[in-house]
Amino acid sequence: MSELQFVRVDMAGLAVTMEETPALYRDLGGRGLTSRVLLDEVDPTCDPLGDGNKLVIAPGLLAGTVAPCSGRLSVGAKSPLTGGIKESNAGGTVAQKLARLGIKAVIIEGKPAAGPYLLEINKRGARLVAAGEYRGMGNYALMGILRERYGPRCGFLTVGPAGEHGYALASIAVSDPEGRPSRHCGRGGMGAVLGARGIKVVVVDDSGCAGVDVADPDSFRRVSREWAQGLVKGRKILTDYGTANLVLPMNALGGLPTRNYQAGTFEQAGEISGERLQEVIIQRGGKPSHACHPGCVIRCSNVYHDHEGNYLTSSLEYETIGLLGANCGIGDLDAIARMDRFCDDFGIDTMETGVTMGLAMEAGLVPFGSAGGVCGLLQEMKNGSVLGRVLGQGAAVTGRVLGVRRVPAVKGQSLSAYDPRGLKGTGVTYATSPMGADHTAGNCLPGRTGFRPETSGGFPPHQDEGQDQLSRDLQVMTAVCDLAGLCFFVGVSRENMDVTAQLLGAIRGSSLTGEQVLDLGRQVLVTERTFNRLAGISEVHDDLPEWFRREPLPPHHLTFGVPREKLRKTLEFKEQ
């Protein structure tokens, strides 16, 4: 197995060096690696947008192999939104290319006197190039130019104008196979951290690379193939309707956030459902199913056209529909698709944005249901007006400035499109994840929502009991997916831990058990909680806003009742 490398980018000195991966980090990848490097190298009390923070980019341990759905890219830094450690991962084409280049991680540190720069990574190494010409450019135009200049074989990471402005809800866009900015490391303001380091673009070119070494290729291929076959059959609902398949089941469950989490069902849910989405996409000649990276067999992404049949956006996801749609009282797919396009282009997280808009509506800035009103607010963000800069800091700051008391955020980050009173396991994840409120850290969907029956456990989602255990198990298994670079739609289950162990073992050429990979997952959480404790975020912050416990959610009159003491202990593992 050839030696993988660290690319260290010193933006203060404008110097790039290639380093051998320290022995300590050889068995780490993805989130496991980003979090560990941050704990080891970054002062947890630093200003996230100041000189001391670092941004770490790492493909997962399975990246670049034939393992299905293994192309997630992890990006980590101290978050300007939460003030704690953050890992945000996305699909797209970059992880696999970095892995094939033999790159274990890219560590970007310091700040230049002026910027922005472009970081070029290819088989000859890595270098910084002045990129003033791209300043202020939206992700669509920018990726269009990059694809023309660098060719369709390259993968791109780009920071939109929001990241250049230092907005705490800024994303990093990752190019999809068509070179579009449809995938985003959305959560936690990673775009602002990269923007503050003076980087606008990372170009990754893996031309001429041999690929990833696997010690036992036969067994790796066999396990991968069997797994892929199961996924193709087992995830049909995701292939057909995308993540938007969740709109109707979540609405039925009473957990679809509606009008700033005032209700759990939306009277226009049918208008924004996965079924309706599929219908509209097919009518207009879009793609109801699309792979965000080569090797994805689930293909939950989509390509949405406007009513004239022209490309509008990709991908329209459940979270975006839930938060820019139902949560703003908007039941119009075209309007939501235009907002999604805006977010992808401007470079912002659709979730933090949707919740922030809901708060602005609750504050009376624009009425619920007004897509024009939301577009006006998005435009304020783009214009950099004071109001736009408030919104650009996300839900917690917006709620505080506008005097809204019902702010759905934990550790400074907004919730996702699952009301924690209707889906209590995910509520525990929101409360306890070191990431702040983030369903991707362990989403406790019950079987009936269709694509992850194995996570339902014995705990109906409206019941308080047992949710802490369910969330803990899912958070550990999700961390395993995140370190392997697997999309968690492969299924966050005990069984898949064994499959992951087999694959990781086949790469190394040594056997590995499911229990051992679960230990790796636990270690990720311990690392992250240690960073947060040193940053001043403790188990006291492992809670939901108090009003979720007090305010009954229509129509099922649900409140969140998992005891605080249980939340504080949910992720209490022994330090290893």
Which residues contribute to the site for its own copies (CB under 8 A)?
Answer: 45-47, 49-50, 52, 165-166, 168, 386-387, 389-390, 393, 397, 400-403, 405, 533-538, 540-541, 543, 545-547
**Cβ-based nearer residue to its own copies, 293 or 541:** 541
Neighbours of 375 (CB within 10 A): 16
Q: How far is the CB of 103 from its own copies (least distance, A)?
A: 31
Note whether 94 and 58 are within 8 A (CB): no
Note whether 142 and 228 are within 8 A (CB): no
**Cβ-based nearer residue to its own copies, 48 or 155:** 48
Residue 270, phi then psi, degrees to nearest 5: -60, -30
**Cβ-based nearer residue to its own copies, 281 or 397:** 397
**Cβ-based nearer residue to its own copies, 296 or 535:** 535
Residue 48: asked if its preceding bond is cis (omega within 30°), the reply is no
Q: How far is the CB of 146 from its own copies (least distance, A)?
A: 27
Q: How far is the CB of 538 from its own copies (least distance, A)?
A: 6
Q: How far is the CB of 348 from its own copies (least distance, A)?
A: 16
Neighbours of 148 (CB within 10 A): 10
Alpha helices in 60-189 (DSSP H): 94-100, 139-150, 161-164
**Cβ-based nearer residue to its own copies, 495 or 546:** 546
Please work out, in degrees rounded to the nearest 5, the angle formed at the alpha carbon of residue 143 by the alpha carbons of 435 and 205: 85
Q: How far is the CB of 534 from its own copies (least distance, A)?
A: 7
DSSP secondary structure of 385-430: -HHHHHHTT-HHHHHHHHT-S---EETTEE--SS-TTTSHHHHHHH
Which of left, alpha, beta for 105 (phi over 0: left; psi -120 to 50: alpha)?
A: beta
Q: How far is the CB of 84 from its own copies (least distance, A)?
A: 12
Q: How far is the CB of 529 from its own copies (least distance, A)?
A: 14
Question: Measured between alpha carbons, how far is 139 from 158 in angstroms, rounded to an integer?
Answer: 7
Please work out, in degrees rounded to the nearest 5, the angle formed at the alpha carbon of residue 179 by the alpha carbons of 231 and 244: 45
User: HEC string of 460-473?
Assistant: CCCCCCCHHHHHHH
Q: How far is the CB of 188 from its own copies (least distance, A)?
A: 15
**Cβ-based nearer residue to its own copies, 525 or 535:** 535
**Cβ-based nearer residue to its own copies, 307 or 405:** 405
Name which of 6, 347, 24, 300 is nearest 157 in CA terms.
347
**Cβ-based nearer residue to its own copies, 23 or 540:** 540
How would you class 403 by CB atoms within 10 Å of its CB: exposed for 0-12, middle for 13-18, buried for 19 or more?
Answer: exposed
Q: How far is the CB of 60 from its own copies (least distance, A)?
A: 31
**Cβ-based nearer residue to its own copies, 43 or 515:** 43
How would you class 210 by CB atoms within 10 Å of its CB: exposed for 0-12, middle for 13-18, buried for 19 or more?
Answer: exposed
**Cβ-based nearer residue to its own copies, 38 or 280:** 38
Question: Measured between alpha carbons, how far is 533 from 542 in angstroms, rounded to an integer?
Answer: 12
Query: Distance of CA 375 to CAs 143, 381, 547, Å?
Result: 23, 10, 29
Q: How far is the CB of 367 from its own copies (least distance, A)?
A: 17
Q: Is 368 helix (H, G, I), strand (E, B) or coil?
A: coil
